[in-house]
Structure 1
Amino acid sequence: MKVIIINRKRLGVTIIIIGLMLVLFSLEKNFDARLKFTALIQNNINSLVQYEALDKKFTYKLPAEWSTKEQKFPGNEIIYHNDFNTKDLKIHGFVEVWNLNTDLKAFLEESKKISSEQNLYKSYEIKPIKINNKDGYLVEYTIITSNNKDYKGYEYFIKNKDKFMRFSFFVSEDNFKESMPTIFKTIVQTFNYKE
């Protein structure tokens, strides 16, 4: 017969630590939502307006203060395009839906190759992401324009069967704030695509 000796002091400390870890884990979810809300408020974004496209199959939200202009393109690759910019023109970009059934990573690598022949990049990184349970990529880069200004680009590419959504955000490095990537991700997370 084995005798098990329990160190009550050590057991008590272990239980307290596990309890604190569980409390912190549950608070982290609440903190993340508040952090996003704070980032929006700090950048004078008070409310989001929902946009609908492709017979209401594709929805997303943009800040109410931003102006938008929808464009049509010939062909059937880009089936939706909406340009946007802030009132002060510090942030601009667009939202697109592509009708392109190809490997997204290969598409991005080929796009980078073509773009590198025309543009000078200071930095360029492709990261795998998961947004709303859909796989995709975040392409972060800094580009040097012809008038020697640095622009940061944050482009989200999210795969959805034979289509992909593209959310592109551009801001000059002079106007860039650390909270902007949080704002961009929060906007991208508002999308919904129904087949």
Structure 2
Amino acid sequence: MNKKQLIVTSILICLMLLLSIVQGFFNKNFNKVALTDNGINEFKEYNFDKSNYIISLPNEWTVVERMGDNQYINNVLNFTDGNNKLTGSLQIINTNDEIETFAERDSKNQSLKYSKLEIMPYKYKSNIGVLSTYETTIRNGYDFKNQCYYLQFEKGKIVKILFNVKEKNYKENIKSVFNSIVSSVELS
């Protein structure tokens, strides 16, 4: 390599390093902006399923925990934001099905009429599972965009996290909020 090529190569390597460092700051700040834009300032930790699992939900949300009403569902955590624009639930489900099979069957066996169903693999930080997205309409004329995450931390149990957002209130950056919540779920 001659001297010019060495200088150009060195400059390119330095720029690549700088770009990767700046990208890390950008992603972190983008997530903070998305949370703030959706009215979320801080998170509160919740223990559920006899303290076997931990999840962090926005402090501004109303959270109600109840025990499952059958052998299929262990525990349910219902939540809603302060403006009733977003509702959701977290369930611990006892099943020996593979997570992909369960997600597909669960998504298709809804009581509500749904459309635009998409089922895809999901990976964010250390959580791996299946993401199901679809749209629903209820009698009052409300249209909802729904995202349902299925995670498996231990054999025989699937964590199902469902978010329902009124379509008129749906923002693309809400996915950052969902990812923050889903990535906070862990086995304690």
TM-score of the pair, normalised by structure 2: 0.90
What is the aligned length? 187
**Residue 155 (1) aligns with residue 148 (2):** yes
CA contact (8 A) 2:107 2:132 kept: no
Equivalent residue runs for 1:29-178 within 5 Å: 29-115=24-110, 119-121=113-115, 123-162=116-155, 163-178=157-172
| Change beyond 3 A, Cα 1:94–1:113 | closer
Name the larger-Rg structure. Answer: 1
After superposing the two structures, state which structure 1 stretch, 52-61 or 142-151, moved more. Answer: 142-151
Letter of the 1:154 partner, please give it: Q
CA contact (8 A) 1:101 1:161 kept: no
Matched position secondary structure for 2:175: helix
| Change beyond 3 A, Cα 1:130–1:153 | same
Matched position secondary structure for 2:172: coil
Give the CA deviation at 1:20.
1.2
Q: 1:183 aligns with which of 139, 157, 177?
A: 177
Q: Output one character per residue of 1:21-67: Cα deviation in whole Å (capped at 9) or x when no partner.
A: 12221332232222111111112211111101133221111111111
Give runs of ≥4 in structure 1 deviating > 4 Å.
none
Letter of the 2:88 partner, please give it: G
Q: Distance in 2 between matches of 1:49 and 1:174?
A: 27
Q: Distance in 2 between matches of 1:148 and 1:169?
A: 18
% identical equivalent positions: 28
Q: Which runs of 5+ in 2 are unaligned?
A: none
Q: Distance in 2 between matches of 1:113 and 1:66?
A: 29
Q: Distance in 2 between matches of 1:146 and 1:49?
A: 34
Letter of the 1:139 partner, please give it: S
CA contact (8 A) 1:120 1:145 kept: no
Give the CA deviation at 1:171.
0.8
Matched position secondary structure for 1:189: helix
Q: Which runs of 5+ in 1 are unaligned?
A: 1-5
After superposing the two structures, state which structure 1 stretch, 20-29 or 175-184, moved more. Answer: 20-29
